[in-house]
Structure 1
Amino acid sequence: MPSPNLGGTVSAHLARSLVSAMTAAGTGRLARLPDLAVEVLGNDLARISTPSLVTVWEHLVLTEPRTLIGPLVLEDAPIGTFGVWDYLITTGPTLRQSLTQAVDLIAAIGDPAAEKLIVEEDGRHFTVRHATGTWGPDVVQAVDLFALSLFLTRARAATGRHIVPSHVTITHRPPPRARQLAELFGTDRIHFDAPYNSIAFREDDVRTPLPKAQPGMDRLLAHHAELVLAASRPVLRWLDRFRTALTAAFQEDTVSLENVAHRLAMSPRTLQRRLAENGTTWRGQVEALRHEHTSELLRTTDLPLRSIAGRVGYSDARALRRAVRRWEGQAPREVRRSADRAPSAP
């Protein structure tokens, strides 16, 4: 079983793939996200915070507002993109055994605290059900379609055949490009507004021996995946992951305990408890981040106080002035003057 410390994180393989897709789409830079630096993404044992990855998804969704970016990302993700998890599916005795093992070891690619997967069998179909975190609806839809497409593309790679799912269920409403989605899945049997997300394969497709199967290879790869998980470490401490989520909420003007808890795939009560365990509080963290952002804006921009107040969550410039005097012991204009007098870096 994966370490509980891996909850709230994803593999470097997954993060690397999505950052590459974002870069190719030209959606801009990811500021204030230290666990997405090039040297971090190059470390296969690094675990990237889920809030950072959600920020990447948000950028990607902006490039494809009709929410098909999830499956489209996989067009440039051949087998091996997601490390050992990919090979768990392609080298087992049958697709049934391989998919079951991949579901059990979903932590090798995704966030074990956010990604919920269930395998169901009724003698005619083999079904994988999926649910993810409670982020923004566009992001959740993109992640859900990505997950269903991921199982389909890997099933096709494992069997060497253009497998067509017997049916697909999606909890979201039909996107404007539902026809394109049907082409990507290879079937019109897609049911929207369903109670859960799922992709179902026919029994004969999942029980046929895989062409790349090698005796014992599935057990060897599963053991390797468990060793990788045991050796993997989150790049950021939990409190840093929380601050990443809080910063993203500030940037979207959606600062609330509920919103940030959703980004971290936990309840508001659990979030408050975790903050207390780290010797801090929700109010204290919001105040500290407001202070940090306000100081940066005062020292590096010419924005009027009313604009800065809006950006950091204050109702008006008067409330901002009171806060700055409390933090800095001086008025905002004096903070700006001191920044202007500071020597330039050599």
Structure 2
Amino acid sequence: MQSSVINGTVSAHLTRSLVGAMTGADTGRLARLPDLAPEVLTDDLARVSTPSLLTVWENLVLLEPHTLIGPLILEDAPIGTFGLWDYLITTGATLRESLTQAVDLLAVIGDPAAEKLIVEEDGRHFTVRHATGTWGPDLVQAVDLFALSLFLTRARAAAGRHIVPSRVTITHRPPRQARQLAGLFGTDRIQYDAPYNSISFSEDDVHAPLPKAQPGMDRILAHHAELVLASSRPVLGWQDRFRAALTAAFQEDAVSLENVAQRLTMSPRTLQRRLAENDTTWRAQVESVRHEHTMDLLRSTDLPLDSIADRVGYSDARALRRAVRRWQGQAPRDVRRAPRRAPSAG
């Protein structure tokens, strides 16, 4: 169905909706990412790297700490916000058919390599199970709650009424806003610390005819979705996507060949081969990103050297000092004292 070329990427529709939720916030960090430029976010065929999307989520979580930022974003996201994918859910004959098709065509909106969706039926419940990447716990919780809320809000829009899920399971501990979350879901039948994330609907709800269904429209949209996927292309080339994935791994303290290979949906051996084809090695790339990350932390934060050493993977401040002298020919304190050079006008 879909080409592996879009693995490790998400749609511009999804990305710009999340960036739009940051209105009024300092988005300087985002502006430095090439696949988050305005001309990219307005291109419906553009595919943004998943590490760049995670940077957006990081900013959202920091902007709204201790809130249900994922579900709350969807309160102001009407049908159409996520483009074609939204309409896959509202045009089928029943909610069962529409949700199943939307799960099958997840790649239209999300990263098929990082987001896993499974549909299950047991005769009483229709369940959508969700799992995402192994990122920081705050990010994973925000993404998980966003995904479950996405299916609920779209199911309600498709049915034209306030559907209440028959069951919700969440792998995380109850948040401080557990009562608010129960209000958004419309039920207190929420199991926390569950083995998987899921949202279930009753068989009566999923088999009821949808008011906006148009015979044959669901098949037309599914065919169009396949064409969109075939025409979509990542904004970043492979090397830039690799660097983005490696940088994200540093930020999450999860730097390993296996971890980064998983983010890029390839085996560690294939990743090493791709690096060799680009005349570099895993070790050289790790050293390069560690250098960049260290310099950024030294120049833009007041973190103690022990904290920086821990963040970039050194055993202690002494090892960090040796590395900085090797890279810069000066001590970390001198790097911090040096004035920042203004960007070139050319």
Q: Of residues 319, 323, 334 in structure 2, which corresponds to 1:319?
A: 323
2:202 maps to 1:220: no
Partner of 2:169: 169
* Equivalent residue pairs, number: 340
Structure 1 gaps, min length 5? none
CA drift of 1:265 comes to 6.0
CA drift of 1:33 comes to 1.1
CA drift of 1:275 comes to 3.0
* CA distance 1:260–1:66, change in 2 (3 Å): farther
> What aligned pairs does 1:209-288 form with structure 2 within 5 A after superposition?
209-250=209-250, 255-257=255-257, 260-261=260-261, 263-264=263-264, 271-288=271-288
> What aligned pairs does 1:60-79 form with structure 2 within 5 A after superposition?
60-66=60-66, 68-79=68-79
Query: Within 1, Cα distance between the matches of 2:324 and 2:182?
Result: 52
2:189 maps to 1:189: yes
2:56 maps to 1:56: yes
Of stretches 84-93 and 239-248 in structure 1, the one that deviates more from structure 2 is 239-248
CA contact (8 A) 2:92 2:214 kept: yes
Partner of 1:109: 109
Query: Within 2, Cα distance between the matches of 1:5 and 1:171?
Result: 30
Letter of the 2:236 counterpart: L
Query: Within 1, Cα distance between the matches of 2:122 and 2:343?
Result: 72
* CA distance 1:7–1:345, change in 2 (3 Å): closer
Partner of 1:22: helix, strand, or coil?
coil
Partner of 2:97: 97
CA drift of 1:90 comes to 0.5
Of stretches 47-56 and 244-253 in structure 1, the one that deviates more from structure 2 is 244-253
Partner of 2:35: 35
Letter of the 2:163 counterpart: I
Q: Indicate the percent of aligned positions where both proteins have the same amino acid.
A: 80
Give a deviation string over 1:132-172, Cα, whole Å, max 9, x none.
11111111111111110000000000000000000100111
| TM-score (ref. length: structure 1) | 0.85
* CA distance 1:168–1:25, change in 2 (3 Å): farther
CA drift of 1:216 comes to 0.4
Partner of 2:140: 140
Give a deviation string over 1:73-93, Cα, whole Å, max 9, x none.
111211001111000000111
Query: Within 2, Cα distance between the matches of 1:342 and 1:77?
Result: 40
CA drift of 1:313 comes to 6.2
CA drift of 1:50 comes to 0.4
CA drift of 1:29 comes to 3.5
Structure 2 gaps, min length 5? none
CA contact (8 A) 2:96 2:207 kept: yes
Query: Within 2, Cα distance between the matches of 1:71 and 1:161?
Result: 18
CA contact (8 A) 2:121 2:127 kept: yes
Partner of 1:23: helix, strand, or coil?
coil
Query: Within 2, Cα distance between the matches of 1:344 and 1:228?
Result: 39
CA drift of 1:219 comes to 0.2
* CA distance 1:99–1:264, change in 2 (3 Å): same
Partner of 1:119: helix, strand, or coil?
strand
* CA distance 1:341–1:100, change in 2 (3 Å): closer
CA drift of 1:268 comes to 5.2
| TM-score (ref. length: structure 2) | 0.85
Partner of 2:127: helix, strand, or coil?
strand
Partner of 2:201: helix, strand, or coil?
strand
CA drift of 1:261 comes to 4.8
Query: Within 1, Cα distance between the matches of 2:334 and 2:25?
Result: 42
Query: Within 2, Cα distance between the matches of 1:223 and 1:101?
Result: 11
* CA distance 1:14–1:297, change in 2 (3 Å): closer
Partner of 2:208: 208
Partner of 1:13: 13
Query: Within 2, Cα distance between the matches of 1:162 and 1:335?
Result: 58
* CA distance 1:63–1:217, change in 2 (3 Å): same
Query: Within 2, Cα distance between the matches of 1:340 and 1:81?
Result: 41
CA contact (8 A) 2:15 2:53 kept: yes
